[in-house]
Amino acid sequence: MTAGLPFNIPFLAVVALISIGLFIILTQRNLIKLVMGIVIMESGVNLFLVSLGYRTGGIVPIFTHAPEGVMVLPVPQALTLTSIVIGVATTALMLSLIMLTYRHTGDIDAEKSRRLKG
Amino acid sequence: MASLSTWSPIVLVVAFLILAAVAYFFRSRGEPRYKEGTAQTQVFLAGEEAPEPDKRHIRAHNMYWGFFQALKRYYETTMNAHTGIINDYIIWFTSVVAITAVIVFIAGMV
Amino acid sequence: MDSLVTHSSILAIAIPLLAAFIVPLVSKVGDKARNTVVIGALALAEFLVIILARDIYLNGLHVYTLGAAATDLTIPEHYMVPVRIILEVDAMSVFMGIITTTISLAGAIYSISFMKEETGGDRFYTLLLLLAVGMLGLVFTGDMFNFFVFLEILSISGAALAAFRTRFGDATEGGFKYIVISAVGALVVLFAVGILYSQYNLLSIAALAQAIQYTALDKIALALLVVALAMKLASVPLHMWAPDTYSVAPAGTTPMIYVASQACLYGLFRVLFSLYGVSLDTLTIGWVVIILGVLSMFVGVTMAVHQSDIKRLMAYHAISQSGYMLLGIGVGLAVLADPQALASYGREAISGGIFHIINNALYKGLLFLTAEALFFALGTRDLNKMGGMFRNMKYTAIFFIIGALAISGVPPFNGFTSKLMIYESVYNFSPVLAVIAMLVSILTLASFTKAFQSAFTGPALPQHDNVREVPKPMLIGMGILAVAIVFFSLFPSLVVDTIVTPATDALIDQAGYIGAVMGGA
């Protein structure tokens, strides 16, 4: 995939996703958009973990009847699965708390729905 | 630990108990005969009328007024920095990461 | 008994985890059965941690490989590096383990009477047990990705507990801020773990510590890890989520969420001392940690004096006391490469910081519980509405006095002993820092005098005439911590020699940490 190309596309995609996610978290006041930014950043980090394991010309890491050649590393794939599941749980919790905040304050703007400051 | 070999809390506790015994002795020599309900058991404010308990108790936001007046500029800046908006918290985080990375790299090059 | 000691580290994590998922079933039987299961699981975990501690102080580091034929077979045959998840428990880990289980037990006992008023009790106890599991797993693990997983477990359960009383608007806001901060921080930790993995193909902390060279990518990973963990432990300027979250968490769980932050402090020290160790530029990183500590101390206490909400006041003091620990251990880190300074005052600074962790967990836990007792009795957290409570709530007032004197560093309490160690050693490093630390101590006493005067002394207010003392389980929970404070105050040398000095030695000794897993290879 990266052979023959002058730059490493997966890592460029990771940088793009993480910076877009970070930009959204820093500037968007709407709480739902903030959660979307966190999810985009999580996707960027998961893509980073998976693309770490790639070896050029590698094959699927399954031992049974494996042909000769270098295998892609399976450990980052396991780490990414764990991370995706944790991301789902975190997103579910964040979205349910936003729902409750809307019920209490009638607003999902980060500035207008805050009660605690100082 | 070098500093803890000389520290002995038992001495302090014994000293406190002795002083507490002395204070109790002095208190027990007070006036035992007084009449309840007369002016002898009411609050004395230098001859002024004592207000209701609700108005007499000094509230929390009135304490240390002089201290807060002296540091007014510091407190205004800091209280304004604590906005309560979640995006500002992440802005602080990103700036501190950037500053720390710069410090670590510069210290490595020097 | 021997096999119990060998398997105690994984059992201490597994038993509360099992209990967490059995609690919804048991609560169908009744409330008493549920409370028994919860308290029983946490008491059993504490017993296991204590026998593990005894074994570590006698025999050294304890390593447990998950899934291997024998528990100390860390590197399988024909392999050069460990491939399984390894729990590596040294004296510092078990020190944090003791703190975690004690505070979880006190919090669970305290919550019994609180949960009579609330619904959803089985979910509350599931979350409480999961929080205890997350904290214990974080301090016992020897693997970087496992560290990330337990960090997320404790963040999610902590945020759900903080937002538990959903009928209050500010509770959901506090929980939301905590989960956003934790999600961003944990993502950055995962990114840093990915960077380290990409260079060395290793996840185990001991193996990474042996292989690490301080390349540019390692420097980036270090900056990301240090600042993300500093945000999780609420050090200034990343602390602004902490007052919002600690002030709204329900009874008994605020000390646990606070000790979860201290577990992240332990994670920071593990990364700095055992993962990077002597390969880092210790003077620079030490000064970064010292600056974070001094800022935390000063901004924390000046904001605390200004507050009128009693739990926010306690939360700002929690931030300020974390600054003392960062200061002590930052000084120790800064002189790590200089053996003469390390022997003369560096060790004492690190010991002071570590001793302050346990003292702080005790008296800060007690103060949070007394603040929650005031909220339970009066229905308000606003100090402007309280007054004259000493007549109605004598025991709470006495516990408050013990906690307030301990946190201000007044002799003979235990706060004074750990602060004395920090002042003396930091003075040798740089006198200005010791002066700032003492000033912060005076301001701490000032703010607690203000809180005591507003809440407890003063005339009997007519609107609080029928306020009674809080129920017995709450008093027992507070009493456990108060008795521990008094014990630590009367025998400081005993505590330091038994618990703190082995932890200091284990933290400084990176070679021992590596050797236990890599087998001297």
- pLDDT tens for each residue of C245-285: 998 988 789 999 999 999 999 999 999 999 988 888 888 99
* Torsion-angle region of B6 (φ positive above 0: left; ψ -120 to 50: alpha; else: beta): alpha
C166 touching A (Cβ < 8 Å): yes
> Residue A102: its pLDDT value, please?
92
Instruction: Name the closest residue on chain A to residue C166, using Cα atoms.
Output: A100
The answer to whether C384 faces chain B, any CB pair under 8 Å, is yes
User: Do the beta carbons of residue C452 and residue C398 sit within 8 Å?
Assistant: no
Side-chain half-sphere exposure of C226, counting CA atoms within 13 A: 31
Contacts of A34 in chain B (CB under 8 A): 86-87
Which has more confidence, A81 or A107?
Answer: A81
pLDDT in tens, C12-24: 999 999 999 999 9
Neighbours of A103 (CB within 10 A): 11
Judged against a pLDDT cut of 80, whether residue B1 lies above it is answered with no
* B29-64 pLDDT tens trace: 887 787 777 777 777 778 788 788 778 888 888 888
Read off the tokens for C452. 């005591």
DSSP-based three-state secondary structure for C306 = helix
Number of other CB atoms surrounding residue C128 within 10 Å: 27
Q: State how far the Cα of C482 lies from the Cα of A26, in Å rounded to an integer.
A: 43
Give the best residue of A86, A109, A114 to mutate against chain C (max C CB count within 10 A): A86
Average pLDDT over chain C reads: 90
Q: Please list the alpha-helical segments (H only) found in C60-204.
A: 91-114, 121-140, 144-162, 169-200
- Residue C87 pairs with which residues in a beta bridge? C64, C141
State yes or no: pLDDT of C521 exceeds 50. Answer: no
Chains that touch C (3 or more CB pairs under 8 A): A, B
Which residues from A are below 8 Å from B83, CB to CB?
117
- Do residue A28 and residue B87 have CB atoms under 8 angstroms apart? yes
Mean pLDDT of chain B: 85
From C429, C457, C423, select the one nearest C441 (Cα to Cα).
C423
pLDDT over 80 at C302, yes or no:
yes
Tens of pLDDT, residue by residue over C60-117, are 888 998 888 887 788 888 888 888 889 999 999 999 999 999 999 988 988 887 777 7
Q: What is the pLDDT of residue C520?
A: 55
pLDDT at residue B4, rounded to an integer: 67
Q: How far is CA A97 from CA A40, C163, C166, C182, in A?
A: 19, 8, 9, 14
Asked if pLDDT for residue A27 goes beyond 90, the answer is yes
> What residues of C are in contact with residue A75 (Cβ under 8 Å)?
197, 203
Residue B3's pLDDT is: 60
- Search chain B and give the residue with CA nearest A34: B87
Query: In angstroms, what separates the C-alpha of C191 from chain A's closest C-alpha?
Result: 6
pLDDT (0 to 100) of residue C468:
84
The nearest alpha carbon in chain C to A116 belongs to C244
Interchain contact B77–A (C-beta under 8 A): no
**A114: which chain B residues are within 8 Å (Cβ-Cβ)?**
84-85
Determine, for residues C240 and B92 on separate chains, whether the beta-carbon distance falls below 8 Å.
Answer: yes
Mean pLDDT over C139-144 rounds to 92
* Confidence at residue C187, expressed as pLDDT on a 0 to 100 scale: 95
Average of pLDDT values for C137-141?
94
Looking at the complex, report in whole angstroms how far the Cα of residue A41 sits from the nearest Cα belonging to chain B.
13
CB contact set of A110 (below 8 Å; sequence gap of 6+): A29, A30, A31, A34, B85, B86, B87
Q: Tell me: the pLDDT tens digits for C197-211?
A: 999 988 999 999 989
Does position B71 have pLDDT exceeding 60, yes or no?
Answer: yes
Identify the top-confidence range among C290-299, C403-412, C467-476: C290-299
| Residue carrying the six token digits 């002071």 | C352
Please indicate whether, in this complex, the C-beta atoms of A45 and C173 are within 8 angstroms of each other.
no
DSSP assignment, residue C68? S
Q: Taking the domains of chain C in order of start, what are their residue ranges?
A: 281-490
The number of helix segments (H) and strand segments (E) in chain C equals 22, 2
Residues 32-51 of A with CB under 8 A from B: 34
What DSSP element (H or E) covers C330?
helix C310-334
Closest approach of A67 to chain C, Cα-based (Å): 23
pLDDT tier at A3, thresholds 50, 70, 90: low
Q: Tens digits of per-residue pLDDT, C460-507?
A: 888 888 888 888 888 888 898 899 999 998 888 888 888 999 999 998
How long is chain B? 110
Split at pLDDT 50, 70, 90, the class of C316 is very high
Nearest-by-Cβ selection for A101 from C155, C173, C194 = C173
Q: How far is C342 from chain A (nearest CA, A)?
A: 39
Cα B57 to chain centroid distance, Å, stands at: 17
| Most B-contacting residue of C240, C280, C417 (CB-CB within 10 A), to test interface | C240
> Which of the residues C241, C271, C306 would you substitute to probe the B interface, choosing the one with the greatest number of B C-beta atoms within 10 Å?
C306
Q: Which residues of C touch B56 (CB under 8 A)?
A: 458-459
Nearest residue of A to residue B81, measured between CA atoms:
A118
More confident residue, C498 or C2: C498
Q: What is the arithmetic mean of pLDDT over C316-339?
A: 91
Predicted pLDDT of residue B32: 78
* Residues in chain A closer than 8 A to B79 (CB atoms): 118
C-beta separation of C107 from C253 below 8 A? yes
Q: Please report, rounded to a whole number, the percentage of residues in chain C having pLDDT higher than 70.
A: 100
Nearest to C252 by CA among C129, C410, C436, C384: C129
**Residue numbers in B near A117 (CB within 8 A):** 82-84
What is the phi-psi region of residue C120: left when phi exceeds 0, alpha when psi lies from -120 to 50, beta otherwise?
left
Task: Compute the distance between CA of residue C504 and CA of residue C348 in angstroms, rounded to an integer.
Answer: 9
Q: Which residues of C touch A42 (CB under 8 A)?
A: 183, 187
The reply to whether residue B82 touches residue A118, judged by beta carbons under 8 angstroms, is yes
Contact of C174 with C245, CB cutoff 8 Å: yes
Q: Which candidate from A110, A116, A118 shows the least CB-CB separation from B87?
A: A110
